[in-house]
Chain A
């Protein structure tokens, strides 16, 4: 009997490519975030409101991940920003190599902010580093206040939580204070925003935070 010692992370290959992506983003001075949520929380709608609010202030590009169709990329393309669609054909998450391939279709010298909209799934995307600066998790009020407790991995790995669909609060049984408390019990450092893509409430605050994170965009 012989033993070969390996001691290698199973996802080491993904982590290596993510590190290459990160180096590339830093070289071009691009802030990248990875937007995650369950299906239907409003990731694409938040993106649309964000693009509307930012206008031409920042040079934004979007990578859309979906199991099937390029419907989301079509929605984003209406805002005249570069949008690349990744179709995973059943794959439940984006990985770093898919992002590396998608970057070939973007002119990185002309981007301040790259938003990657992950496949709607609160489990698997938590484990795959894409090279982003931070993960942003979206939860909608209709999903209930216990979502963070049910999916602790995702809420622990994110830096920001956007609670979306706040306009529906009068009509549903969602305890907003409890939702905030649950999220902070999993991750006390989570920054919190509360938005409605219908009334646009909370969108200016969220965009202000984004702009502060980017600092002064370069002369691109």
Chain B
């Protein structure tokens, strides 16, 4: 639901980091988005293209690295991938899970063409 405000945050970060006069050369923005971040990547891409339409950043793409939801089981010490929203250890069935990845929502880098 809040992909639009997230897209605005990304735009602000891009503008703060791209040297003056280079905005129109931004080719892509690499993001890291976790499966449990609450963000729908397709919706974020749609919102980003909508707010950059008519600006120097028009056409800049979001290059999204999808990070899976993984957890460490505090009972059997196994690290495993978890299904969305199911916090149960696939090995031993324990619900005592510490999340290791999957909540990321980061701007990693910006690619600028010469």
Contacts and interface: CB of A to CB of B under 8 A. Distances in A.
Interface of A: 1-11, 13-14, 91-93, 95, 121, 123-124, 126-127, 149, 152-153, 156, 184-188
B49 to A, nearest CB: 17
Contacts of A3: 109-112
B9 to A, nearest CB: 5
Interface string B90-101: 000001100000
Contact of A124 (B2, B95, B113): B2
- For this complex, into which size category does the number of interface residues on chain B fall? 20 to 34
A186 B87 contact: yes
Interface in B10-35: 10, 12-13, 17-18, 27, 31
A1 B112 contact: yes
Interface SS of chain A: mixed
16 contacts: A1-B112, A1-B114, A2-B111, A4-B109, A5-B108, A10-B13, A10-B107, A91-B5, A92-B2, A123-B38, A126-B38, A127-B2, A152-B85, A153-B36, A153-B85, A185-B87
A4 B17 contact: yes
A185 B2 contact: no
B14 to A, nearest CB: 9
B37 to A, nearest CB: 7
A10 B108 contact: no
B84 interface: yes
B9 A5 contact: no
Given A6-B17, A6-B107, 12 more contacts: A4-B109, A6-B108, A10-B10, A10-B107, A92-B2, A124-B2, A127-B2, A127-B37, A127-B105, A152-B84, A152-B86, A187-B87
